[in-house]
Structure 1
Amino acid sequence: MLGTTSLHPGLEALRDGFYMLDPEWRVTYWNAAAERFLGVPREEALGQVLWEVNPQLRQSPAWEQLHRVRDEGAVREFTASNPAGGADACFLVHAAPIEGEGIAVHFRDGTEELKLNERYSRLIESIQDGFVAVDPEWKIVYLNRIAEQLLRFPRQRAIGYSLWALLPPQSPEIAGAMRASMQDGRQRRLQGITPEGEIFEGRRFDLWIYPLPGGGISMLFDDVTERFEREKDLARLAAEAQEASRAKSRFFAAVSHELRTPLNAIVGYTYLLSSAAYGPMPPEAQRAADRIGICTEHLTRLVEDIIVVTMAEVGRLPVVPAPVPLDGFLPDALQPLRFQAEAKGLRFVIQVAEPDLSLETDPNRLRQLLLALLSNAVKFTSQGEVRIEARAVQPDASEATMPTGPELHPEAVEIAVLDTGPGIAPEDRERIFGAFEQLGDPSRSDSMQRGTGLGLTIARQLATVLRGRLWVEER
């Protein structure tokens, strides 16, 4: 029998309690911490049967656990009450068999640790996600209420159960991620996974895998089936809305084309009336014919704008690329705007940085784009100048640029329209590209002066069709 402390100097230094029992339950060793925790001096404990030293053990779960250690030769970990510490006090006990000598029992005060674990447990139980923790041997050490419901397995039976016995074998993606986290200790996340197996019924989950400090991993999984179904519904509705928008655009394009024929007739006959082709008219009739001509021209421009917008939306706006030398193209294409600007007393300046600057694009679409921009600049500039500048720039790899080929330079071309008008507030610089968006007082009724609000919409769509980009900035 071991009854002296000299044989166990390391055990005497422990802050935790430690004692040893022979096969007949007699105490063979009792360290100083055991004296302190259990309130029994070493001299009174040595050589005595444990149940005589601590009679309360007979009525506690520790009695059964210690007998299983002796009879089955298995290591057991359990909690035992600590009457000296109060109603909630307890010990965390580790009992192991010693071959030919009996049992070694190591215990420590686990009151605060168990309280902390209980708080964590309440927290984990309160979340609406499933939570499972396993040890390094893949034995389940914790399973919360949501996980219990999902796996359809009582948690009392699950504790100590192998995770692989519950996880469907047809889920290699999940198993691979868990094994990788167990091996390298890194967090992982899987999104929208659909585990195989009858218990999951085709549901989708987001899965987070976290390594545990003492070894093992924990898994948090969120059932996102309803979210995925909502996203599918939203995608379907978006597709239906896009198709409805395309149908609307096709309808407007068809109607606008049909409007051209009667409008052309109205324009032609109005011109004949105004030019006295059918004879002179009274002054009142002449003014009426002139007014009809102005309104018809405005309506014609509106129809043409709608045709461009709708054809661009449905992807049917034809583009015929050709070499465009800007030094000659810009003055010719912008001549009508020069007349308008000079009629308002504005300077109209065209500046091309290099004489041979050119690009490969559709000249008709480029003309439409520039006329839309310059019309706005001239309309909203009351004094000063309207300037257009063209120069070669190095394209940003992230931007859409004109196509290049063996006969073309790898540079992009930047065409800037500058004016001395009132400017555009930063918060409006994207809004102005929306269809029918107009700055200023919306209550004004002189729509022919204010325009349709489609000019900049058309300009941006044309820029996109020509594989370019259109934006507003302050210089």
Structure 2
Amino acid sequence: MLALNNHRGIWITSIIWLICIAAALLAAVLKSTDITELWPIAGIATIPALMSLLMTPFLKREWAQILVIFAWIALAILASLAISFVPMAVLFMCAPAIAALFEKEKVIETMVLAALAASGLFYYGKFGGGPDLSLASEVQINWGVTTAIAATIGLLIAALYGVAASKSELILGEDFEAEPQTKVEFAHDDDVLDAVPGGLLRVDSEDNIIMQTQAVAAQLNLSTSEVAPTISDLFSDADQESDLRNLLERARAIGREVTRKFHLTYGEGDSRTAEITAAPIEGGDVLLHVYDSTAHEARLKSIHSAYASAQKDADSKSLFFAGVSHELRTPLNAIIGFSDMMRSRLFGPLPGKYAEYAELIHDSGQHMLDLIGDVLDMSKVEAGKYELAYNSFDASDVIRSSVKMLRPAADSAEVQMDVEIHGEEGELLVDADRKALRQIILNLLSNAIKFTPKGGRVVIKGEVDDRDLSLTVEDNGAGMTPEELESIGKPYMQTETGMTSEVRGSGLGLTLVKSLAALHGGRMDLTSEKWIGTTATITIPRQRS
């Protein structure tokens, strides 16, 4: 989808339109035309362009784009009614041209709208349903027709320029750097060449070896006294020789270095891996750098094997957690459901003590279900299988609904909970995973409520800038020491305050928050002071990274 990073195209087309109208007025003055009749029609003609200029700061929003497009269509309709359908229908071309500066999908939609409006206007007038087409004076008609055609042509040219300029910016804005041709300067210094890791060979245009270093003899199993006149003497295997010749030909053809791996076998089954790089130099010669990568390949193989084993273990753990979660959730849901029926006295009254026990059973079961959910989500994150479902929404709605959900818990703990939204017209527009953002907010708020004493205060703040959404949760609760702060974010780690709290957790809340923020390309920042309070700030990009 083509979308301008800034709306210079709209600015340019609007200015061109206003210049054309001003030029037409100036021409009327020079012809000694009474322009008092022209001011009303000229003023109406400037409205869409002026509206486009005024709406420039908001043109990233859908409603602003639609408003601008409808303003241009409205001008075309009004001009066709006031003057004449032909040739004023040419103004219907302006709206699609403006839409092209937003995104290509809007061009098609706008063309359909403009075509419907024009055809409806035409048939309405053709069958006698239209008004009298003599609303404008002869001076206004002559000036309006000439100005409409000239200004439309100017606007179309400016719109084409704007679209072309935006495409150029998108192409040239990419980090593109041409790969330079490699032309190696050869230095005739044996000490320097022997110090280079790996061995060096110089091959002339006829594939004769005209120079070799001491390291090549060791890597290719050649004696130091042996002279290898051609590359045929380097390999006993015909396929390996053919591969090396192809490497030389490719380096000469493309004019830059080329690398390929070779598997060499010496003597009694001594197999080694070598990386040979061919770099073209003057006169058709090629410099070959031979590097023994056997140990490196062995390390890579070991790393891949370890990674595969770890991945298998992680997958097994995820399957285990998923199975355990399913097995635990089924009886827990039954326990929660039946205890809820008991505490609600659905089938009759219960003695006070039994009702209290039913309340404890329900709360404990719900708490265990929440812990199981945290463990399962964390296992998905660690296994790299937690997939974000991106969509555009107002984060302030998620904040308010989360606060409403936790309001009873805050009231029960006698903790004041406030919301502060600082956004564009009270909105926090973001492209993110709504469920993950809700989970972040719920975990931060529940943590703050849990560790804030009676009479304390928890505040959640939301604000946006051009790039990021920031969510901040502040409390004046127990706080943490610097040592405890360092352990936050590690799975299953709890502070001393958390371990002694009446409401125990899994130690995964903030770890999950940190992981979900990282999946969005964001971060979590924590500041805390013992017995003063804690501030947690989550920053995530407003657009998908």
Structure with the largest fraction of helix: 2
TM-aligned CA deviation for residue 262 of structure 1:
1.2
* 1:194 aligned residue: 261
The answer to whether the Cα contact below 8 Å between 2:277 and 2:289 also exists between their aligned partners in 1 is yes
Alignment of 1:312-461 (within 5 A): 313=383, 315=385, 319=389, 321=391, 324-341=393-410, 343-346=413-416, 348-353=418-423, 354-359=425-430, 361=432, 363-382=434-453, 385-395=457-467, 412-420=468-476, 422=479, 425=482, 432-440=488-496, 444=499, 446=500, 449-461=503-515
2:406 aligned partner, one-letter code: L
Distance 1:328 1:210, change over 3 A: closer
1:31 maps to none
1:470 alignment counterpart? 523
- Tell me, in whole angstroms, the C-alpha distance in 1 between the residues paired with 2:298 and 2:516: 37
Deviation at 1:470, TM superposition (A): 3.5
Q: 2:243 aligns with which of 153, 164, 170?
A: 170
Encode CA deviations 1:421-443: one digit per residue, 9 max, x unaligned: 536859956x633432323378x
Partner Cα distance (1:136, 1:438) in 2 = 70
Cα 1:256–1:464 shift into 2, 3 Å? same
Equivalent positions of 1:59-458 (< 5 A) are 130=199, 143-144=213-214, 147-158=216-227, 161-162=229-230, 165-166=233-234, 168-172=241-245, 175=248, 190=259, 193-195=260-262, 203-206=272-275, 221-274=290-343, 279-281=349-351, 283=353, 288-310=357-379, 313=383, 315=385, 319=389, 321=391, 324-341=393-410, 343-346=413-416, 348-353=418-423, 354-359=425-430, 361=432, 363-382=434-453, 385-395=457-467, 412-420=468-476, 422=479, 425=482, 432-440=488-496, 444=499, 446=500, 449-458=503-512
SS at match of 1:453: coil
For 1:136 and 1:448, the matched residues in 2 are separated by 83
Q: Distance in 2 between matches of 1:314 and 1:295?
A: 30
Change (3 A) 1:333 1:286: closer
Partner deviation per Cα, 1:88-134 (whole Å, 9 max, x = no partner): xxxxxxxxxxxxxxxxxxxxxxxxxxxx98xx69x969x99556678
TM-score by length of 1: 0.52
Length-normalised TM-score, structure 2: 0.47
Distance 2:451 2:249 in 1: 65
Aligned-partner Cα distance in 1 for 2:390–2:378: 18
Q: Is the 8 A contact 1:330 1:350 kept in 2?
A: no
Alpha carbons 2:414, 2:456 under 8 Å: kept: no
How far residue 227 of structure 1 moved from its aligned partner, in angstroms, is 2.4
* Secondary structure, aligned partner of 2:525: coil
Q: Secondary structure in 2 aligned to 1:471?
A: strand
- Conserved in 2, the CA contact under 8 Å of 1:139 and 1:162? yes
With over 3 angstroms needed to count, the CA separation of the structure-2 counterparts of 1:131 and 1:345, relative to structure 1, is same
Check whether the contact 1:351–1:390 (CA below 8 A) recurs between aligned residues: yes
Structure 2 CA distance for aligned equivalents of residues 179 and 428 of structure 1:
60
Contact kept in structure 2, 1:298 and 1:448, CA below 8 Å: no
Partner residue, 1:97 = none
- SS of match in other structure, 2:443: helix
CA drift at 1:157: 2.4
Residues 473/142 of structure 1: CA separation in 2 closer, same or farther (3 Å cut): same
SS in structure 2 at match of 1:300? helix
Deviation at 1:472, TM superposition (A): 1.4
Contact 1:387-1:417 within 8 A present in 2 as well: yes
Give the percent of matched residue pairs that are identical in Structure 1 and Structure 2. Answer: 26
Corresponding residue SS for 2:243 = coil
Query: In structure 1, the residue corresponding to 2:222 is in which secondary structure?
Result: coil
Partner of 1:376: helix, strand, or coil? helix
Q: Using the TM superposition, give the Cα deviation of residue 314 of structure 1 relative to its aligned residue in structure 2, in angstroms.
A: 6.7
Aligned residue identity for 1:378? I
- Residue 166 of structure 1 deviates from its aligned partner by 3.1
Q: Which amino acid aligns with 2:461?
A: E
**In 2, distance between residues paired with 1:155 and 1:297?**
79
AA aligned opposite 2:234: L
Alignment of 1:26-41 (within 5 A): none
- Count of residue pairs the alignment pairs up: 325
The answer (yes or no) to whether the contact 2:261–2:275 under 8 Å persists in 1 is no
Q: Distance in 2 between matches of 1:219 and 1:179?
A: 12
Contact 1:308 1:317 in 2 (8 A): no
Distance 1:141 1:468 in 2: 52
CA distance in 2, matches of 1:433, 1:233: 30
Please state how far the C-alpha of 1:177 moved relative to its aligned partner: 9.4
Q: CA RMSD in A?
A: 4.9
Counterparts of 1:427 and 1:209, CA distance in 2: 56
Query: Match of 2:311, as an amino acid?
Result: Q
Distance (whole Å) between structure 2 residues aligned to residue 249 and residue 162 of structure 1: 58
Compute the displacement of 1:234 (Å): 2.1
Larger Rg: 1
- Is residue 394–residue 428 contact of structure 2 (8 Å, CA) maintained in 1? yes
**Shift in Å, 1:371:** 0.4
The answer to whether the 8 A contact 1:257-1:307 is kept is no
User: 1:252 offset after TM fit, Å?
Assistant: 1.7
Contact 1:143 1:155 in 2 (8 A): no
Structure 1 residue 452 displacement after superposition? 0.7
Measured in 1, the distance between the counterparts of 2:429 and 2:315 equals 35
- 1:293 and 1:471 map into 2 onto residues whose CA distance is 33
Deviation at 1:319, TM superposition (A): 4.0
2:332–2:365 contact (8 Å) kept in structure 1: yes
CA distance in 2, matches of 1:471, 1:414: 10
Distance 2:427 2:220 in 1: 74
Give distance in 1, aligned partners of 2:444 and 2:465. 21
